[in-house]
Structure 1
Amino acid sequence: MLDQLLQLVRDNAQDAVVANPAVPNDQNEAVIGEATKTVATGLQDALASGNLKDVMGLFNSNGQVDNSNPVVNNISGNLIGNLQEKFNLNGGTAASIAGSLIPAVLGSLVKKTNDPNDNGFSLDGIFSSLTGGSTQGLNLGGLLGKFAGGLDKDGDGDVDLNDLTSMISNGAKQQQSGGGLGGLLGGLFGK
């Protein structure tokens, strides 16, 4: 997946990096590589920290990336810091690169993932790669549909611990009868 992600970054880096006079030409590939690593690490960290709702929300966007999504903000912020630290770019230049590159790359990733005619990316493949294979065998497309369909079980406008408790309780009942959401969540969290 990293090679495919690198290609997405390259495809979107022409204006933000390659044609940017603030980025020396001999550093273009290194900046593109750093952006690729930052996107992959940002998605991986979001999953590892339990930020599944925002990651799934990103992939449910049909390619229209919501810049207020915490995952997008974290990846952009990390890239800004990395560009300043590793390439000695000033804050404005680093913010400009991250502000145009990250939404474009994530938008392309989401579009390719959601395109049934493009088998280069799949939601299952991305999550499996990011989690070291721990989501293998899960129907993440179905899980995404559940997020889109509303996991807000208590109707308070958010998905929180109360909703998760309700889902696990109902899932445990379903699991006793052979599967259900409890089994799915158990597999997702390694239990």
Structure 2
Amino acid sequence: MLEQLSELVKQFGNEAVVNNKSVPNELNEGVMDEASTSIFSGLQKIISEGGADKIGELFQGNNAGSASNPVVKQLTEQLSGNLGEKFGLSSDTSSEVAGGLIPKVLSSLIGKAKNPNDKSFEISDIVNSISGGQGNSAVMDAIQKYGGQFGLDQNNDGKVDMSDAMAAVEKKGGIGGLLGKFFGK
């Protein structure tokens, strides 16, 4: 996933990094590499600190590109700090670069993951990558926590469990339909 994330950073890095006069040209590649690494490690940190629900919320609606989203804000602050520390960029420049990259990259990442016609990012691959393969239980916790809000409590017993999953799979045309319902498709 880090390689694919790096491609997204490069895609959006022209405006935020390459064409930014405050970032010396010899630092462009390093700054973009740091952005990719910071996003990936930041998402891993959120999961490791029990933030699976924050990641789940990132997939809801179109808020992945919003600077007010807690995940976007946390990753932007982390990248800004890293750029200042590692490359000696001013706090204004670091904030400008991070603010110009993080919302666009996350919005694109989540958009691609939610698009059934775009196989470059799969939701399950993202969750497994950022959770070190431990994402399935965290995702199930998020589904249980938010499942009722998204109509996943198929038998109206007040909880989302395997019986609901099986009923949803039958009604929605397979596991893709179930995940599509959960992630707003």
- Per the shorter chain, which TM-score range? 0.7 to 0.9
Q: How far apart, CA to CA, are the structure 2 residues paired with 1:145 and 1:108?
A: 26
Gaps of 5+ in 2: 151-157, 167-185
CA–CA distance in 2 between the matches of 1:4 and 1:127?
Answer: 14
3-state DSSP of counterpart to 2:118: coil
Q: Contact 1:63/1:108 (CA < 8 Å) preserved in 2?
A: no
| Inter-partner Cα distance in structure 2 for 1:75 and 1:121 | 19
**Which structure shows the bigger proportion of residues in helix conformation?**
2
Q: Is the 8 A contact 2:64 2:72 kept in 1?
A: no
Whole-Å separation in 1 of the counterparts to 2:93 and 2:27: 14
- Contact kept in structure 2, 1:63 and 1:111, CA below 8 Å: no
Q: Which segment is superposed worse, 38-47 or 67-76?
A: 67-76
Conserved 8 A contact 1:75-1:102: yes
The reply to whether residue 150 of structure 1 matches residue 149 of structure 2 is yes
What is residue 61 of structure 1 aligned with on the other side? 61
Q: CA deviation at 1:62?
A: 3.6
1:134 is aligned to 2:134: yes
Q: Are the structure 2 counterparts of residues 144 and 116 from structure 1 closer, same or farther at C-alpha, using a change threshold of 3 Å? A: farther
TM-score, normalised to structure 1's length?
Answer: 0.72
| TM-score normalised according to structure 2 size | 0.75
Q: How many residues align?
A: 158
Query: Matches of 2:94 and 2:143 in 1, distance apart?
Result: 33
For residue 145 of structure 1, report the CA deviation from its aligned partner.
9.7
Gaps of 5+ in 1: 152-166, 181-191
- Kindly indicate whether structure 1 or structure 2 has the higher relative contact order, using CA contacts under 8 Å at least 6 residues apart: 2
SS of equivalent to 1:13: helix
Kindly provide the amino acid, as one letter, of the partner of residue 133 in structure 1. G
